[in-house]
Amino acid sequence: MSSVKSTVNLPGGFSKPFWVANIMELFERLAYYGQATILSLFLRNQLKFSEAEAGSLSSIFGGLIYMLPIFAGAIADKIGFKKAFSFAFFVLAIGYFLIGASGIPAFSGFYNSLGLYTSLTIVFIFTAIGGSFIKPSVLGTVAFTTDSSNKSAGYAIYYWLVNIGAAIGPFIAFFVRDIFGLSFVYIVSAVSCALMFVTTLLLFDEPQVKSDSNGKSIKTLLIDLFSVLLNVKFMSLLLIYSLYWILFWQIFIVIPFYVDDFISHTAPTELLISIGAWTIIVFQIPVNKLTKHLKTTTAIIIGFALAAACWLLAYLALPVFSQSYINLFGYNIHMGLIIIGLGIFIFSIGEQIQAPRFYEYIADIAPRGQEALFQGYAFLPIAIAWGFGGSLGGWFYGIFVKQANNPSALFSVMLGIGILALVLISVFAKLTNSKKPE
């Protein structure tokens, strides 16, 4: 990678590339989570797909946008982060616009020749290819621009800014949906990414440290890519993590269906889901300080335990309070919304304990010149969770929850997955006896 022209450090002792990359990630997450909170309802309620079809399309998009970073990270290592960012934001801006346009009558003819499902599949794949370059490039930049004295703080700041975007995006989506309609949430996401494309061109500089991958051939990069699969300990951790992220993504995939079908069609689902991001914004820095001395596996186990507790609360409390309301500030609010919101809060406390430490751990074990490659692999569990969780969640919800009128089935299955994940990660910790990397 090329050297930057200036080495002036900005607030917190971090360099300009660090801050620019993280601010761009904030806006990319604003775009992503703004549309993610309404994706299920957009596909089912506006485009008239079934729950299974909506889940399948969600799986294609979500699975690829988190699977492809494994390959995109290797490419970003070679071509440089500025080119990777530029490509990513350019493609995302076009892709989000095309997704939103599918629900706007003026553009409906564009999708008729191949059929709406096939056309959207192509658009989702196209958009995911662009989006896959973002996270390995941001995390690679953080890895290059931090050292042992500020690495933990750097990843905490990254995760904090990510969640600012994840919190603001749903709020914008809520008001845009209410005023203009679901389709225009995607137009806002497209505009956000277009602005970040311009920002990349004008403000982002390559990190000063050079990457050894620039001189590598494509063949060598592919060997590096597949050699990671032979790291049994790392791959086992990623597979166990996929269960955790299945629990997480069901908040976006099936909870909107549950709220719409069993609580209220007019409930502010976007705001409900954004509780997780707001929790991380408020508590991330103090939680990081309180837990920074925990071993990596200990922090992860706590996060998994709280994830299971989220679904345990829903399983026990939602049937009891299914017809109850509480008066808050003069408004009658369904107790189901309170319980779900509290569950998301609990899940998010666990997430912020384990997630930054997970990325820090990967940065420490990544060989020099393969920082973005290993950070790309860090998203394999999320890809598995989206890829299988979307289709599985939509299919399961449509048949065993909605048609059977049995909402408890949803929470019992999620609780079972949470307990399984907790047991496996505990066994992993005991067998590997992992310690926090120095």
419 exposure class (CB count in 10 Å sphere: 0-12, 13-18, 19+): middle
Rounded Cα distance, 241 and 196, in Å: 31
Query: Rounded to the nearest 5°, which phi and psi values hold at 324?
Result: -100, 150
82 exposure class (CB count in 10 Å sphere: 0-12, 13-18, 19+): buried
Rounded Cα distance, 98 and 120, in Å: 8
Rounded Cα distance, 204 and 17, in Å: 6
**109-160 residue pLDDT tens:** 888 888 999 999 999 999 999 999 998 899 889 988 888 778 878 887 888 8
pLDDT tier at 6 (50, 70, 90 boundaries)? very low
Going by C-alpha positions, the residue among 72, 112, 116, 114 that lies closest to residue 92 is 72
Q: For 56, left (φ over 0), alpha (ψ -120 to 50), or beta?
A: alpha
9-432 fold: Growth Hormone; Chain: A; (1.20.1250)
**170-228 residue pLDDT tens:** 999 999 998 999 999 999 999 999 999 999 999 999 887 544 555 566 677 677 778 88
Across the chain, mean pLDDT equals 87
Task: Scan for tokens 């992993």, then name that residue.
Answer: 428
Rounded to a whole number of angstroms, the distance between the first and last alpha carbons of the chain is 26
**253-266 residue pLDDT tens:** 999 999 999 998 88
How confident is the model at residue 217, as a pLDDT? 65
**40 or 378: which carries more pLDDT confidence?**
40
Domain ranges of the chain: 9-432
**307-325 residue pLDDT tens:** 999 999 999 999 888 888 8
Evaluate if residue 11 carries a pLDDT over 70: no
DSSP string across 91-138: HHHHHHHHHHHTTSGGGGGGGTTT-HHHHHHHHHHHHHHHHTTHHHHH
**397-413 residue pLDDT tens:** 999 999 899 999 999 99
**37-86 residue pLDDT tens:** 999 999 999 999 999 999 999 989 988 988 888 788 878 888 899 999 99
